[in-house]
Structure 1
Amino acid sequence: MTQIVTLQLKQPFANSLKKGYPLLPKDAVDARQLPAQQGTLLRLVDQHQRFIGTGYYGIQNKGIGWVLTTDANEAIDQAFFSKKFKKAIENREAFFNNPSTTAFRVFNGEGDGIGGLTIDFFNGYYMVSWYSEGIYCFKEAVYAALAETVHYEAIYEKKRFDGKGQYMEQDDFVMGTPGEFPIMVKENGMTYAVHLNDGAMTGIFLDQRDVRLAIRERYANQTNMLNTFSYTGAFSVAAALGGALKTTSVDVAKRSLAKTIEQFSVNDIDYEAQAIKVMDVFHYFKYAQRHELKFDLVVLDPPSFARTKQMTFSTAKDYPKLLKDAIAITAKNGIIVASTNNASFGMKKFKGFIDQAFQATNTRYKIMEEHSLPKDFRVLREYPEFNYLKVVFIKKLS
């Protein structure tokens, strides 16, 4: 049986958790009270020893644990996880019944009631991501619950933590029949090649599904498109299928070349008619300005933090500079798709970055549409800060 430790919360953190906030911040408790082992169940109480909820101790970048239930009599066992999974699957019935989209998020951490754990579906294959050693301690009950809840070809996992609670990534086969990779998934009728056994990422970021659809349906036709920080070129595929005259994909990672060729090829797009550049994005901006290149559609989807030999980049402080570089090579009436998954600031601040860049370049603009996480990335309505994705389609007017 998992050990249970009573933990008294400081004010005002106790009040916040009483209102349903699921994250246990580091400052909410006296560090001397913390148990020695991650995965320990926590009986959370206020200063009057009144029960607030049961959670688990697990160190990750967001805090030191998550509330799992506010029912003092509810056990955290296989039945608990089964109940959560069944409810999550019910909420995504429309996705399971949609043959044109066969890749989506089945379980979204705290949005579905278990912080630190996500589950994605890829055309019969499931990928479980673990974000702390604490939640990983429940793996046997979680996998037993998942196996009895879903029909699967195979289940894979990615452990995105190390023994100190810091972020890392590795992956492994768990159960079922190992897949022959890449496997093909559909997204709004588009095809993407997915690898569940090849390092940190799969080949497609599922949270950008609605953005790729918008690009294909409303913005790509007859454009010269630039996709920066392009990874495997998923946005470029959407643009090409939406009628773009040409796409240019730029990413510093050497493996992006083969990955992007693969994504074009599985959609029967002639990759030789597209441009795929393995180079630093900021160097490409300088190259484009020197050669007076202009693009009708520019996608900016940088990592929250990146480091090269020459520089470091952080969206929290460098996004306005990135936008200024993009504005310089965007044609009049062209569209910039500005995106970030940095959870440390909200849409209001992000729009402030946008305005700052356009003001600095003395350029007028119009916001065409905005996006946040799609419906399968379920977020608690009361706590929109967990909705990390911010995407703004901006028209450059002059």
Structure 2
Amino acid sequence: LAKGKANLFLDGNPIVYGGAVDAIANGKSDAPPRTGDPIIVADHEGKALAWGVYNDTSQYVVRILRMAWECELAPHPGGVSSSASNVAVKCDVEEVIRDKINVAARMRSDCGVAVGNANGPTTVYRLVNSEGDGLSGVCVDVYDCGGGEGGGKVAVAAVSAAWAHMRRDAVVKALGECAGIDRVLWRTDARMLKLEGIFDESRSEETDDGPIGSGQSDAARCYDAKTGAETSPPAGWVTVAENGVRYEVDLTKGHKTGFYVDQRDNRAEVRALGAGKKRVLDVCCYTGGFAINAALGGAADVTGVDSSPLALDIARRNADVNGVGARTTFVQSEAFKYLDDLVADSGNLGTFDMIVLDPPKLAPSVNALAGATRKYVKMNQAAMRLLRPGGILVTCSCSGAVTQRELLPAIVTAAATAAGRRVTMLGKPRGAGADQPLDPAYPEGSYLTVVVCRV
């Protein structure tokens, strides 16, 4: 590292960006290190701070796997000196994969994330949350599809890092041995892997059959977690439960890993808030999670809006299987147009009891913040005008640039001023659940904010 750059990593930051690097060398040969190689991170004096995996293309030059205080150190085998700047560091990537997945599985068990609540069981949860679980670029969600023909316990791995893609067999094996997984569906985004400097051989070109409504190109292959052999993925749609609510999920083409597991706690809150509500609107509803929970909580008339016809077909089936099909309506429309049309009809103003806004990522980067902020304000302003006095607004942002700057409460305040309404926040902003832990040394891992307020 360059002089003055060490403190960030002494505090535990897991990502080394190119700007922090002074020099790169290979202690084993004259050839430079290659993408995927283990590499030691040292301060400007040569003292080992950590080790991780190297990438010669990505802006993430090193994804750290162990800090110095976690490392096994020994005198340098060359016998040069026993000083702190001349040590050998044990760098066993596969051992780290096993250790981290084992710890992640124990943590989910300790937190009871797969137990459910008084309304029923939960069979879907996040098992590995990238930097939050010490495996940068790896997210794994578990879908317990039941034994026999149900498919068993399936893990869907969403992989965006070259080092993990290159060690797929080790990840699959560890999931089987440490987390009791039966099959692993390995999903990779070809565009992300290109940024990482490798090409995913399982798809030669992008197609239009990516995740529902996204246009994203994903490759998906399935592996037996016990043998590592390639096998067939679960056939058709699988049905999982979240706090007793049943959802149909497409594990190969659904958004993220097939389902938005990050909103579990917030969907449960919307269910509780649905009691006694007459008219509820769920904007950007995807497959109906918030809408169905509001109806299950007692809401009489719930409308879900989304631009994807396929997602809406699943939402209708989900509503029917949960017994609320008669009280839910799903409409295909672009979110802003739908809200504008509602506001344009004065008969709709002040008639909704609760509105949920869960748009896609409007600010994919810091450079997009200004434009995204205007969109968030416009959407929230429209919702506030549609709510009756005392109505509930549940508004979400999955943009890391918004969440890390804690901007959503200010956006809500600006929207209220524009709408001529007063808002009261019902508690602090929410985020994802306990199955999505965060590394406090890496605030960039936080991306979801949910604000619940009375308007």
Q: State the TM-score, normalized to the length of structure 2.
A: 0.77
Match of 1:373 in 2: 432
CA gap of 1:210–1:37, structure 2 versus 1, over 3 A, is same
Q: Does 1:133 align with 2:190?
A: no
Match of 2:92 in 1: 76
* Cα distance in structure 2, aligned partners of 1:314 and 1:141: 42
Residues 65 and 96 in structure 2, CA contact (< 8 A), matched pair in contact too = no
* Cα distance in structure 2, aligned partners of 1:61 and 1:324: 40
* Cα distance in structure 2, aligned partners of 1:204 and 1:249: 17
Where in structure 2 are the equivalents of 1:1-398 lying within 5 Å?
Answer: 9-29=1-21, 37-58=34-55, 63-70=60-67, 71=71, 72=73, 73-93=89-109, 94-98=112-116, 100-123=121-144, 124-160=153-189, 161-165=192-196, 169-175=218-224, 178-270=233-325, 273-291=327-345, 292-293=347-348, 294-305=351-362, 315-345=372-402, 346=404, 348-369=406-427, 370-396=429-455
Q: 1:69 is paired with a residue of what secondary structure? A: strand
* Cα distance in structure 1, aligned partners of 2:42 and 2:23: 15
* Cα distance in structure 2, aligned partners of 1:60 and 1:333: 53
Question: Partner amino acid for 1:14?
Answer: A
Question: Partner amino acid for 2:139?
Answer: T
| Greater radius of gyration (CA) | 2
CA gap of 1:278–1:33, structure 2 versus 1, over 3 A, is farther
Residues 291 and 328 in structure 2, CA contact (< 8 A), matched pair in contact too = no
Question: Partner amino acid for 1:157?
Answer: W
Can you list the C-alpha shifts for 1:44-80, whole angstroms capped at 9, x where unaligned? 1111111111111348998444110121533333332
CA gap of 1:12–1:389, structure 2 versus 1, over 3 A, is farther
Following superposition, the deviation at residue 367 of structure 1 comes to 0.3
CA gap of 1:364–1:313, structure 2 versus 1, over 3 A, is same
CA gap of 1:62–1:348, structure 2 versus 1, over 3 A, is farther
Gaps of 5+ in 1: 1-8
Following superposition, the deviation at residue 232 of structure 1 comes to 0.9
Following superposition, the deviation at residue 100 of structure 1 comes to 1.1
Between Structure 1 and Structure 2, how many residues are aligned? 383
Following superposition, the deviation at residue 12 of structure 1 comes to 4.0
* Cα distance in structure 2, aligned partners of 1:156 and 1:59: 27
Q: 1:125 is paired with a residue of what secondary structure? A: strand
Following superposition, the deviation at residue 279 of structure 1 comes to 1.0
Following superposition, the deviation at residue 301 of structure 1 comes to 1.0
Question: Partner amino acid for 1:77?
Answer: V
Following superposition, the deviation at residue 321 of structure 1 comes to 1.6
Q: Give 1 or 2: higher strand fraction.
A: 1
Following superposition, the deviation at residue 281 of structure 1 comes to 0.8
Question: Partner amino acid for 2:182?
Answer: E
Deviates more, 1:227-236 or 1:255-264: 255-264
* Cα distance in structure 2, aligned partners of 1:297 and 1:59: 50
Residues 57 and 66 in structure 1, CA contact (< 8 A), matched pair in contact too = yes
Can you list the C-alpha shifts for 1:251-304, whole angstroms capped at 9, x where unaligned? 11222221211221221222x542211111111012112333232111111111
Match of 2:83 in 1: none
Q: 2:331 is paired with a residue of what secondary structure? A: strand
Question: Partner amino acid for 1:378?
Answer: P
Q: 1:257 is paired with a residue of what secondary structure? A: helix
CA gap of 1:96–1:306, structure 2 versus 1, over 3 A, is closer
Following superposition, the deviation at residue 243 of structure 1 comes to 0.7
Residues 66 and 115 in structure 1, CA contact (< 8 A), matched pair in contact too = yes
Following superposition, the deviation at residue 314 of structure 1 comes to 5.6
* Cα distance in structure 2, aligned partners of 1:169 and 1:58: 22
* Cα distance in structure 1, aligned partners of 2:353 and 2:267: 16
CA gap of 1:61–1:100, structure 2 versus 1, over 3 A, is farther
Residues 193 and 203 in structure 1, CA contact (< 8 A), matched pair in contact too = no
Following superposition, the deviation at residue 106 of structure 1 comes to 1.0
Q: 1:88 is paired with a residue of what secondary structure? A: helix
Structural RMSD (CA): 2.8
Gaps of 5+ in 2: 27-31, 74-88, 145-152, 198-215, 226-231
Following superposition, the deviation at residue 318 of structure 1 comes to 2.3
* Cα distance in structure 2, aligned partners of 1:225 and 1:257: 17
* Cα distance in structure 2, aligned partners of 1:183 and 1:22: 35
Q: 2:406 is paired with a residue of what secondary structure? A: helix
* Cα distance in structure 2, aligned partners of 1:182 and 1:141: 28
* Cα distance in structure 2, aligned partners of 1:75 and 1:306: 37
Q: 2:400 is paired with a residue of what secondary structure? A: coil
